[in-house]
Amino acid sequence: MSDEKNLGDDLNDMLGDAKEGAKKAADKAEELAGEAKEKAKEFASEAKEAASDFADEAKEVYEKATGENKKVLAGVLAILLGALGIHKFILGYNKEGIIMLVITLIIGGFTCGIGVGLMSIVGLIEGIIYLTKSDEEFYNTYQVGQKPWF
């Protein structure tokens, strides 16, 4: 009987040890779950902030790109084909574009090219001005403010 009692005591000790080990494992699992939950919240917060920053930057780049594309296109055309006033049409200044075109073609024909030379100089000056302005300044001056000359 003493062997049975020792066996029963050993089983009870082992059961107690198993319960204690299970409790420690459960406590550790709960601690790790809490840490994982906290890390997930931090990650979600950082991801949300990064997405918001990305959206803001994308919007800013888009706004600059639309103004910059017209700036570069108008500036290059003004320098290369300024006498024809094509850069004026690009910016939506149809009346001014027609004036430059008429001066170049009609007056230039009567004056042996003086009109072409004058309008080429105007185009060159405007092209340089367009390209040296900041994107924001160009956009505000020529696309929003609708300043047709220089």
Helix (H, G, I), strand (E, B) or coil at 92: coil
What span, in angstroms and rounded, lies between the C-alpha atoms of 115 and 83?
Answer: 8
Computed over every residue of the chain, the mean pLDDT equals 80
Closest by CA to 62, choosing from 142, 135, 147, is: 135
Helices (H), ranges, 82-110: 86-90, 94-102, 108-110
pLDDT confidence band for 125 (50 / 70 / 90):
very high
Domain boundaries, the chain: 2-144
What span, in angstroms and rounded, lies between the C-alpha atoms of 100 and 91?
Answer: 14
2-16, 57-71, 74-88, 113-127, range with the lowest pLDDT:
57-71
- What is residue 75's predicted lDDT score, i.e. its pLDDT? 92
Decide if pLDDT at 142 tops 70: yes
pLDDT confidence band for 127 (50 / 70 / 90):
very high
> How confident is the model over 92-103, as a mean pLDDT?
90
- What is residue 128's predicted lDDT score, i.e. its pLDDT? 94
Say how far residue 23 (Cα) sits from the centre of its chain: 53
- What is residue 83's predicted lDDT score, i.e. its pLDDT? 87
The answer to whether the pTM exceeds 0.75 is: no
- What is residue 5's predicted lDDT score, i.e. its pLDDT? 64
> How confident is the model over 112-137, as a mean pLDDT?
88
Decide if pLDDT at 59 tops 60: yes
Better-predicted residue by pLDDT, 110 or 87: 87
Residue 83 near residue 119 (C-beta atoms within 8 A)? yes
Residue 70 near residue 143 (C-beta atoms within 8 A)? yes
